[in-house]
Amino acid sequence: MSSRVVLLGLGGLSLEILDPLIHRGWVPNLEYLLGRGVVGPLSSGLPPFAAAEWTMLLTGEGPGTTGFLEGCRKAPGSYFPEVANLKALSRRAPLSLLARTAPETVLVGVPLPPVPGPLPPEEAIQVLHWEGERFSARSLPLPLEEPSAEGEGEADALARFLEGATRRMIALSVSIARMLRSGGPRMVAIHFAGLDRILARFYQDLSAAFLGRSARGFDESLRQFFRVFDDAVGTVLDLSRKSGDLVVLSSAHGFGPARRALNLNAFLLAGGYLGLRPGAGRESLLREVAAPVLRSMRIERGRVKRILKRSGLSEAVDRAGSFFSSEIGHFDWSRTRAFSLTRTGITLNVRGVESLGTVNPGPEERALGESIRQELLALEDPATGRRPIREVVWRDALFEGPGLPELPHLIVRDWDPEYLLEDWRKVVPSGPVFFDPVLRTGAPRASGFYCFSGTGLPDRLRSPRSWTLPEIAAFLSDFLAPLDSSLPVKVPQGS
């Protein structure tokens, strides 16, 4: 049995997309990997977003345990959103996959920071070292720096995006080679973030190319991107074959065409459930441009709070938001009864739970939530006459566990697959609830697949069956247990 696992996260790819990619010869290395492995359908039970899937894959636990619905949650005692981080996850899931790979695990491009803070770059290398139930993390220097975009101002935004994604994929490939050649860690987890973002923006172009047509002239650039991606897969194949590694491929969601978009906060604003501060529209440049720039300079809320601590303003910053948050600085909590900090979840502003709550707990809270739920189900797109929201569920009917109070009260569980649930931050006064997607032609869909491959493939994995992300996490956790462990390797049974 192999002593090392290489875990590949190909979120965004589905078998429906892979078939024409393989037929046109764009991904020969991936075709070889799938051809010598065991492939089957994979389901996650989560909204189809990468951070949510990695959170479940690395912990084996759902949002009811971790508190993170889409890889994000409302920070306890604050209105600020908090990205899922490895420190928080290790407290909620002490027997997770990460903790069983002693002594080291390497994450390459995985969209989870080690501690609360900004997301790591797409090709960042994080080395986690475990001692008992505690871990430390360090980041290695990136092998390549992104070239400056100076002089490209006249180029089309999508063309520049595609070129940048190809450069980042090259950097990720170098990171992969570096880690697999080191031979130290027992698990290397790799996330191909560029796939998800390319399919979101260029799904229409790929579909046209598969039919022999050119939609917007990106055919050759897309071919180049997938060629670079496939070269990275080839690096994994070559080095893992020499080492006898078990390669596990996970793609928990695919893509389809995006026809229309819907924003939950815009719905709440239009219904009078969400309030914005006066002048919120005029401050959009500050919130959407200046704040992200400041945070990219590592000027973060925590640092600002420490500076303001002596003046007694730290608590106010945490409660009400600030210009250093491009997400919620324009929300008027005194006029807000419900809000969204994820694409699919709605949180009620409950007194005694939130610092500036407006809704009484108990019957009033339940009645408000039920009213919102029914309005969402009846919501009709005036441009199409369709009702895109198919299922809205209370959190306690969907999940259970210590993280339940940190989840949104209402969760949109199912919707028309041709509709995008748009970024919750993009809400302005008089903004539309429904609109045509901007710079998006693909919508993520919850249909994915897995592949177990390699010379060390256990016999019990050789029969295809349907798997879930927690099942893969549980299997890998036992597979990677310390060599002197008496725990057996378990393979879930079923069809």
Q: What does the alpha-carbon distance between residue 62 and residue 465 come to, in Å, rounded to a whole number?
A: 21
> Residues 360, 351: contact at Cβ < 8 Å?
yes
Single-letter amino acid, residue 336: T
Report the mean per-residue pLDDT for the chain: 81
Looking at the DSSP bridge assignments, the partners of residue 345 are 411
Whether residue 115 is predicted with pLDDT greater than 80 in this model: the reply is: no
The pLDDT tens digits of the residues spanning 9-59 come to 998 898 889 999 999 999 999 999 999 899 999 988 788 888 899 999 988
Position 492 scores a pLDDT of 39
- DSSP-derived secondary structure for 216-247: SS-HHHHHHHHHHHHHHHHHHHHHHHHHTPEE
Report the first-to-last Cα separation within the chain, whole angstroms.
24
Position 2 scores a pLDDT of 53
The pLDDT tens digits of the residues spanning 356-377 come to 999 999 999 999 999 999 999 9
The pLDDT tens digits of the residues spanning 91-106 come to 887 667 665 555 578 8
Tokens of 16: 């429906």
Whether residue 223 is predicted with pLDDT greater than 90 in this model: the reply is: yes
Confidence of residue 433 (pLDDT cuts 50, 70, 90): very high
Strands (E), 187-301: 187-191, 246-251, 254-257, 260-262
The pLDDT tens digits of the residues spanning 292-335 come to 555 444 445 555 555 545 555 544 444 444 444 556 778 889 99
Whether residue 344 is predicted with pLDDT greater than 90 in this model: the reply is: yes
Q: Which of 164-173, 240-249, 346-355, 439-448 holds the top average pLDDT?
A: 346-355
Q: How many CB atoms lie within 10 A of CB 30?
A: 25
Position 267 scores a pLDDT of 97
Whether residue 284 is predicted with pLDDT greater than 60 in this model: the reply is: no
Confidence of residue 291 (pLDDT cuts 50, 70, 90): low
**For a pLDDT cut of 90, what percent of the chain falls above it?**
42
Position 180 scores a pLDDT of 85
Confidence of residue 390 (pLDDT cuts 50, 70, 90): very high
Nearest to 396 by CA among 387, 405, 388: 405
Which residues are within 8 A (CB) of 383 and not within 5 positions of it... i.e. 6 or more apart?
A: 260, 434
Which residues are within 8 A (CB) of 310 and not within 5 positions of it... i.e. 6 or more apart?
A: none
Tokens of 407: 């989840």
Confidence of residue 282 (pLDDT cuts 50, 70, 90): low
Confidence of residue 116 (pLDDT cuts 50, 70, 90): confident
> Residues 40, 465: contact at Cβ < 8 Å?
yes
Q: C-alpha dihedral over 203, 209, 215, 217, to 10 degrees?
A: 100
Q: In the chain, where are the structural domains located?
A: 5-257+444-479, 259-276+331-436, 277-329
Confidence of residue 182 (pLDDT cuts 50, 70, 90): confident
Tokens of 325: 């948050």
Whether residue 86 is predicted with pLDDT greater than 60 in this model: the reply is: yes
Whether residue 154 is predicted with pLDDT greater than 60 in this model: the reply is: no
Q: How many CB atoms lie within 10 A of CB 430?
A: 8
Q: In the chain, how long is the greatest CA-to-CA distance?
A: 65
Mean pLDDT of 65-71: 91
Topology of the domain covering 5-257+444-479: Alkaline Phosphatase, subunit A (3.40.720)
Phi, psi (degrees; rounded to nearest 5) at 345: -115, 145
- Of 150 and 227, more confident: 227
Confidence of residue 172 (pLDDT cuts 50, 70, 90): confident
Mean pLDDT of 178-201: 86
Position 368 scores a pLDDT of 98
Q: What does the alpha-carbon distance between residue 176 and residue 109 come to, in Å, rounded to a whole number?
A: 10
Which residues are within 8 A (CB) of 293 and not within 5 positions of it... i.e. 6 or more apart?
A: none
Helix (H) or strand (E) holding 59: helix 50-59
Q: Which of 47-51, 142-146, 182-186, 219-223 has the lowest mean pLDDT?
A: 142-146
